[in-house]
Amino acid sequence: MRALCWHGKGDVRVDNVPDPEIKHPRDVIIKITACAICGSDLHLLDGYQPTMEAGDILGHENIVEVLEVGS
């Protein structure tokens, strides 16, 4: 699948990443149908997030379709 990934200050790319899978009973697999940005996204683009690692997937303001749920 494709995902928006952070690679460093000012470096955000759409990468191919492994498809998600249910690993824990409370996991949910979703399909994003629409998204938005917020102030925290801009901080990430500026490089202000010491816990981020290259390749981390971005996004938390989404409208989704639930495809699969864990037990």
Average of pLDDT values for 9-35?
Answer: 94
Q: 68 and 61 in contact (C-beta within 8 Å)?
A: no
Reported as a pLDDT band with limits 50, 70 and 90, residue 40 is confident
d(CA 70, CA 37): 28
Give the structural domain span for 12: 2-69
Total domain count for the chain?
1
In the predicted structure, residue 71 carries a pLDDT above the cut 90: yes
More confident residue, 18 or 49: 18
**Amino acid, single-letter form, for residue 12:** V
